Structure 1
Amino acid sequence: MNPPTIKDVAKAADVSVATVSRVLHNLAGYSDQTKQKVLKAVEELGYQPNAIARGLINKRTQTIGVLFPDVSSSFSSDLLHGIEDVANDRGFSVIVCNTAEDGKRTMKYLQVLREKQVDGIVFTSEFLKEEYYLALKEMRVPVVLVNTQSHKHMIPYVKVDDRQAAYQATEYLIQNGHREIAMISDTPVDRIAGIPRIEGYKQALADNGIEYNEARVAYGDFGLESGRKAIEKLLAEAPPFTALFAASDEMAIGAMGVALERGIRIPDDISIIGYDDLSISRMIYPPLTTIHQPLTAMGRLASEKLIALIEDSSEVSSTIVNHQLVERKTVRPRP
């Protein structure tokens, strides 16, 4: 059977095709009684021309907005894959916004999403400033946080325990005989992932009787190029070290590139462990030992939570997902 057409809707509602079109596009020129007849015919026939008609029936646009600080990163790509999987299965479209470094365009895109009348928002990898929260509150749409959380506002989130994961990464190096352990991380003011991962690193050192040396820590922005700059700074200025904990896989891979250029062997001369378990970490040589974040699964879970809020208006809980240490070939035991 062929799907119903706009002519079928007009015939069932006993109006013209032009009237049906005007109703579906929310234009003027018809009575409320006519509008209800058209919407009833649309619903009974299952006519779905586009999101406009569906939105008139269920009061939704069937779209969700997703805000990323860097849509080009592998991290964002893996998260988005999970978000879109669930959204598409449930009949939702996804609008992706690149808020840029330090959220320079976050307020602009929140306004765009408001104008687009999205049904909900997935907010990722950025600190939820008060101005963001107030803008989201005015939009009156559900929000789910991913890879971030708010300690001030009750907003459901999906993330790993960054402090515990960093602790495990550092302790793994210690268990392999390393005591001179350096770290490259995000900025020291990053409250989302930077500070918790540094705290986990420090705590692992302290619990194993190793003194923290600030000179062995260099900062960047989680990106590959910043990983190169950070390792160059450590090699030039830090006391000697036999192992490196990188707070992201991209930083780890950037550091490995510099090591290769300088003839520093991985893991013979320096052991390296990353964080994220991006697909590229399995492709490089040697393959990167790292902390696995189930990014695609986190995206799916966030999408499921958001759609549950959109469709049921019910409360959903936050989730700390499990991380896992993945052993590959960049850590070598020391006597």
Structure 2
Amino acid sequence: MKAVNIKDIARIAGVGVATVSRVINHHPDVKEETRQHILQIIEEYKYIPNNSARYLKRSESNDVGIIIKGIYNPLFAEMMQKIERILSQVGYTVMLHHHMDMAIRDMDVAQEFVKEKRLKGLICLGGDFEDVQTEEVKRMNVPMILTSALQNEALDRKVYSSVGINNEVAAFEIVNYLCMTGHQKIGIITTGEHDQSIGGRRTQGYMRALSTHGIAKVDERFEVGDYTFESAYLAMKRLLVKAPDLTAVFAISDIMAIGAARAIHEVGKSIPKDIALAGFDDIDYAAYYDPPLTTVKQPLETLSETTAELMIALLEDRSEHEHVMLPTTLKIRKTT
């Protein structure tokens, strides 16, 4: 009998691969009838889970690393969980590393992580790789995927993969929407106009939208924070003092928008009656905030699935490196 894999078991059982994985790993959230059905098929086809089979075949590392830039982005935390689930279903173990020291190059962290843990592949969620050279990537000698991370445009695209969105375009679209609804005095809470990371791209989108509508840049409408509730709350307090005539604010992340909302409410202003508010990411909190937050929805599920499936294909020599740009969606809710 031909050896079967987890996808074959799922097809025969008429369930998803994730359900088979939960049964194999003894997760409780599977109906007993379904569990027994899958176990019967596993027994009938003499299926050995991939992770066991792979480790029997070779003693080298079977680990894929995920580096998450920072600790405050719930979007990355959710993506990590989805990527880990898919990789584990086909036998790979995920090793996680939070990179929080802004003084250390992201590429240096990546190289050390691969070397120390003897990784088979590396996924970077976020980070700045704009100073990376092609030879640095080649020396790592493992597949590397940059997801929602900045890349050096001169880097040889055949030596790494990337998955992401166009942050500048997405920010332009949401600020353009604010302009189209009549706002001209639009503030921004960002990571800095000269930031070379994703925050900088979103700031560029804000600037282009203002320029498109003939709105001049006003320094008093700029404030800087980081990706935390507190920093955005304090930034919004400063904005309200130096630009009291604001009618709208774009925060470059939902976390920052929610922090800003508290400062707006504390001075007795109403959202959106007095000040409209928009964020970016569409994290879970956004739809359940009061009022629900207008934002840019990142295709979280697709970003995660594309990253994981591409890594599997690269590890199994079924694919060359790819570069995938996914579309975003405006989510117009009650804050505007």
- Paired positions, count: 286
In the alignment, is residue 315 of structure 1 matched against residue 315 of structure 2? Answer: no
Percent identical: 30
Q: Deviation of residue 118 (structure 1)?
A: 1.3
Query: Deviation of residue 164 (structure 1)?
Result: 0.7
Structure 2: unaligned runs, 5 residues or longer: 1-45
For 1:9, the equivalent position in structure 2 comes to: none
| CA distance in structure 2 between the partners assigned to 1:103 and 1:90 by the alignment | 36
Question: Is 1:191 equivalent to 2:196 in the alignment?
Answer: yes
More off after superposition, 303-312 vs 243-252: 303-312
TM-score by length of 2: 0.78
Q: CA-to-partner distance for each residue in 1:30-73, whole Å, 9 max, x for gaps?
A: xxxxxxxxxxxxxxx9877976x734625753321011122453
Q: Which residue of 1 aligns with 2:20?
A: none
In structure 2, distance between residues paired with 1:185 and 1:282: 21
Partner of 1:93: 93
Contact 1:160/1:320 (8 A) holds in 2:
yes
CA RMSD of aligned residues (A): 2.5
- What secondary structure, in the 3-state scheme, does the structure 1 residue paired with 2:124 have? strand
Gaps of at least 5 residues in structure 1 are 1-44
Residue 279 of structure 2 aligns to a residue in which SS? Answer: strand
3-state SS of 1:158 partner: strand
Q: 1:20 aligns to what?
A: none
The residue type paired with residue 275 of structure 2 is I
Find 2:294's aligned residue among 289, 294, 299.
289
Mapped to 1, the partners of 2:333 and 2:140 lie a distance apart of: 46
| 2:172 is equivalent to residue 167 of structure 1 | yes
**C-alpha separation between the residues in 2 aligned to 1:231 and 1:133?**
41
Are 2:278 and 1:278 equivalent residues in the alignment?
A: no
1:120 CA drift (Å): 0.4
Provide the residue aligned with 1:21 in structure 2: none
Residues 230-285 of structure 1: CA distance to partner in whole angstroms, max 9, x if unpaired?
11121122352100111100000000011122211111110001100000111211
Deviation at 1:78, TM superposition (A): 2.0
Provide the residue aligned with 1:8 in structure 2: none
Cα offset, 1:214, TM superposition: 2.2
Q: Secondary structure at the match of 2:312?
A: helix
Contact (CA 8 Å) 1:103, 1:126: kept in 2 or not? no
Compared CA separation, residues 312 and 324, structure 1 to 2 (3 A): same
Match of 1:137 in 2: 138
TM-score by length of 1: 0.78
Higher Cα radius of gyration: 1
- Partner letter of residue 289 of structure 2? I
> Given the alignment of the two structures, is residue 249 of structure 1 paired with residue 254 of structure 2, yes or no?
yes
* Aligned-pair CA distance for 1:88: 1.8
Q: Distance in 2 between matches of 1:132 and 1:67?
A: 19
Q: Deviations over 1:53-107 (max 9, x none)?
A: 7346257533210111224531211221221232122221111101005264853
Q: Distance in 1 between matches of 2:184 and 2:163?
A: 33
Matches within 5 A, 1:27-176: 54-55=54-55, 57=57, 61-102=61-102, 104=104, 106=106, 107-108=108-109, 110-128=111-129, 130=131, 136-150=137-151, 151-153=153-155, 154=157, 155-176=160-181
Aligned residue in 2 for 1:37: none
The one-letter code matched in structure 1 to 2:120 is D
Separation in structure 1 between the aligned mates of residue 79 and residue 177 of structure 2, nearest angstrom: 26
Secondary structure, counterpart of 1:316 in structure 2: coil
Q: Label 1:137 to 1:261 Cα distance change in 2 as closer, same or farther (>3 A).
A: same
Equivalents in 2 of 1:313, 1:190: separation in Å? 37
Aligned to 2:35: none
Go from structure 1 to structure 2 and tell me whether the alpha carbon gap of 1:179 and 1:126 turns closer, same or farther (over 3 Å shift). same
Change (3 A) 1:118 1:132: farther
What is aligned with 1:42?
A: none
